[in-house]
Structure 1
Amino acid sequence: MVSSRRIMDIWMAVLLVVIMSLTGCGAQGQSAGQTEQQENKENAEPNTDKSSTEQKQKESEQQTGSTRVVTDAFGEVEIPVNPQRVAALYLEDYIVALGQQPVVQWYTHTWGTQEYLNLDVPLFDMDGSIEALLDVNPDLIIIPGDPDAAKYEQYSKIAPTYWLPADVNQNMPKTLETMGDLLGATDKAKDVLAQYEQKAAEAKGKLEKAIGKETVAVIRQSGKDKSLALFSAHKGFIGPTMYTDLGLTPHKLVTDIKDYHAQLSLEKIPELDADHIFIFPSNGDWNTDYNKEAIAELESAALWKNLPAVKNGHVYKVERSHWQTTAVTAKMMQIDDVVKMLVK
């Protein structure tokens, strides 16, 4: 028979096992609870470095896809913050000067393109369908000239469209500043303008020494109808460069023009006794058949031959591509032409 002491020892052993078992479960429960609490804490308070990196990435992504509101000739328009595919019709010069590549190049059948830019991009026919721009998928369209509400609406259906305000149009410094702002290249625009101003100032000094107050006129000849246009000293794409930036002295007929140019009739030619005359064709180049015919006819006319500039060999044929625009690169090329021909 088992003694009472033996029974007591057995019960004590069992009780000890039970107590140890319960203690283990409690410890496991506490450990699980602590693990869950730690995980919750990590979820609530993420690693600082990781959070900072992810936040910067998120802000970068938001900036890339963000827009802003600017004011153009028609009012407020929402445009991309940093447009990458820009169609700047007849303003491609500025895009290139600011270090970008336009998605198309302005083109007309009668005038051609701005050959001096040497662009390798698709042509956009200004006389054709606006919907052709869909093929190049622009994210911003920029247009100069007199505002046209109907066309503005058509362009705006393709991409956000900015029409240059009247006080900016054909004003090179303002256009450059505006383009720099639209493209997110304000510092680059300031640098380019500073380069132009320095170039013009240096040329102005050279020209003053070379020809002093000798008078200058600029003519455009239409090869097809053989008409002549004399450019104003006050406005347009010739006057600001020649007579303001370079300080050249305009001939009296030039100062009398109120618009940016005026027709020069054959009867008026004898009055154009300027010391120096620059002339360029309205389209094509001097090797184009109709331009060769037109200039030959002009040069054979007695009225033309009797002009002082003609007699003294001071008539300079220049290329129309960079002489028929106010854009910054073209104006620098105009300055180079003038210095080359007038400073001996």
Structure 2
Amino acid sequence: MARLAGSRTNMLRGIIALLIVITALAGCGNAQEKQPEAEPSNTGNGAGTGSTNNNGGQTNGSSETRVVKDHFGEVEIPVKPRRVAAIYLEDYLVALGAEPIVQWYHPSWGKQDYLNLSVPQFDITGSIEALLEAAPDLIISDGYADAAIYEKYSKVAPTYRMPDAILESGSTEILTKIADLMGVPEKAEELIKDFEQKIADMKAKLQTAIGKESVAVLRLNIGEKDINLLGIKNRFVGSILYKELGLTAPKLVAEMDKFIDTLSMEKLPELDADHIIILTSNGTWTSPENQEAIDNLLNSPIWKSTPAVKNGKVYQVERTFWQSGAFQANQLKLKDLEKYLLQ
């Protein structure tokens, strides 16, 4: 009997020990399930914990903001904006590898066709509803936005109006600022370094090819009986042609104080330019609605008598990038100059 009692006691102890082990193991499992998840690694740029796409940008946005100073004062903007409307500044977004959510459009001037964008147009003369429907998280505007327009834009999304000082400084300064607003300043640095090298190379080639021969830029006003002369202070062409590339401006251009001026056909001989670059005010050189104005110019005895025309040194160019001083537009101008002046 004693042996039987001892056996039962040992068995009971074994069962109790087994239950203790099972309980302990269960407790460990529960503890592991209740452990806090590890913090997600930030593979982006420190601007939030949103997931990233192949461009390194966040796909689900971030609520992080910062305060910057624009033309009208301080404005709070997203650190990493994802849906940007850059009114007449789309060129710079494209250069930085970003697609704007709308494209600037004016009924009289059209849009910047050279960008080849496939996004909705925003008619700046029309309703603000089109911009509202695009749901931007940031709006960037050039000098077109006065106080009233700025207020309208600001009701749609945080709006940054470029300071006049930056707009007047040139395309590289504008690119630098927009890259900063987009949170990618390093991209602007790379693009500008490459552009400056292109300018240096082109300047040297032009010096060899045409030396001090003068170059003027004209605009044929469709529907009018005059043409425009773009001055040396014109930021669309004056800066890159005469300042950066060092081309010689004809006396009439060099003495201009105006950004752009009207030049009657009778005064055309006074221009005395060795080379003439000419664009249309709207449409293209092959647009049917432009043919009457184009024919009237090209068939004019005064036009035919100008030295550049007689020497075959007149170059018909595409208006949308010659009427813009934006970053990519300027690079397209370099291609035209290579095509026409480095023959």
Q: Which TM-score band applies after superposition, normalised by the shorter structure?
A: 0.7 to 0.9
Deviation at 1:95, TM superposition (A): 0.9
In structure 2, do the counterparts of structure 1 residues 106 and 225 end up closer, same or farther at CA, with 3 Å as the change threshold? same
* Residue of structure 2 in register with 1:180 after alignment: 179
Greater helix percent: which structure?
1
1:300 aligns with 2:289: no
What TM-score does the superposition give when structure 2 sets the normalisation length?
Answer: 0.84
Paired residues for 1:264-279 under 5 Å: 264-279=263-278
1:341 aligns with 2:340: yes
* Residue of structure 2 in register with 1:51 after alignment: 38
Count the aligned residue pairs: 330
**What code does the residue aligned with 1:105 have?**
Q
**What code does the residue aligned with 2:272 have?**
D
Partner Cα distance (2:226, 2:192) in 1: 35
1:249-297 deviations in Å (ceiling 9; x for gaps): 0111111111211111233212111100100001000112342211221
Deviation at 1:80, TM superposition (A): 1.1
Question: Is the 1:222–1:291 contact (alpha carbons within 8 Å) kept by the matching residues of 2?
Answer: no
1:204-239 deviations in Å (ceiling 9; x for gaps): 111111100001100011111132111111232010
1:282 aligns with 2:271: no
Partner Cα distance (1:149, 1:207) in 2: 43
**For structure 2, which runs of at least 5 residues remain unmatched after alignment?**
1-12, 53-57
**What code does the residue aligned with 2:284 have?**
D
**What code does the residue aligned with 1:191 have?**
E
Aligned equivalent of 1:116, options 114, 117, 141: 114
1:235 aligns with 2:234: yes
1:197 aligns with 2:157: no
Partner Cα distance (1:200, 1:187) in 2: 20
**What code does the residue aligned with 1:340 have?**
K
Question: Is the 1:146–1:166 contact (alpha carbons within 8 Å) kept by the matching residues of 2?
Answer: no
Paired residues for 1:209-220 under 5 Å: 209-220=208-219
Deviation at 1:92, TM superposition (A): 1.1
Partner Cα distance (1:146, 1:85) in 2: 21
**For structure 1, which runs of at least 5 residues remain unmatched after alignment?**
1-22
* Residue of structure 1 in register with 2:155 after alignment: 157
**What code does the residue aligned with 2:209 have?**
A
Question: Is the 1:224–1:290 contact (alpha carbons within 8 Å) kept by the matching residues of 2?
Answer: no
What TM-score does the superposition give when structure 1 sets the normalisation length?
Answer: 0.84
| SS of alignment partner, residue 322 of structure 2 | coil
1:144-196 deviations in Å (ceiling 9; x for gaps): 01541111111111111111110111520111001111112211111111222
In structure 2, do the counterparts of structure 1 residues 37 and 55 end up closer, same or farther at CA, with 3 Å as the change threshold? farther
Partner Cα distance (1:229, 1:236) in 2: 15
Partner Cα distance (1:55, 1:341) in 2: 53
Deviation at 1:51, TM superposition (A): 3.4
Deviation at 1:86, TM superposition (A): 0.9
Partner Cα distance (2:300, 2:42) in 1: 72
| SS of alignment partner, residue 258 of structure 1 | coil
* Residue of structure 2 in register with 1:312 after alignment: 311
| SS of alignment partner, residue 78 of structure 1 | strand
Question: Is the 1:80–1:139 contact (alpha carbons within 8 Å) kept by the matching residues of 2?
Answer: yes
| SS of alignment partner, residue 76 of structure 1 | strand
**What code does the residue aligned with 1:216 have?**
V
| Structure with more relative contact order (C-alpha pairs < 8 Å, separation 6 or more) | 1
Question: Is the 2:219–2:278 contact (alpha carbons within 8 Å) kept by the matching residues of 1?
Answer: yes
Question: Is the 1:216–1:251 contact (alpha carbons within 8 Å) kept by the matching residues of 2?
Answer: yes
Paired residues for 1:120-139 under 5 Å: 120-139=118-137
**What code does the residue aligned with 2:38 have?**
S
Question: Is the 2:226–2:265 contact (alpha carbons within 8 Å) kept by the matching residues of 1?
Answer: no
Percent identity of equivalent pairs? 47
In structure 2, do the counterparts of structure 1 residues 232 and 56 end up closer, same or farther at CA, with 3 Å as the change threshold? closer
174-183 or 129-138, which moves further after superposition? 129-138
**What code does the residue aligned with 1:230 have?**
L
| SS of alignment partner, residue 190 of structure 1 | helix
Partner Cα distance (1:149, 1:118) in 2: 31
Partner Cα distance (2:187, 2:317) in 1: 29
Paired residues for 1:67-86 under 5 Å: 67-69=64-66, 70-86=68-84
In structure 2, do the counterparts of structure 1 residues 320 and 39 end up closer, same or farther at CA, with 3 Å as the change threshold? same
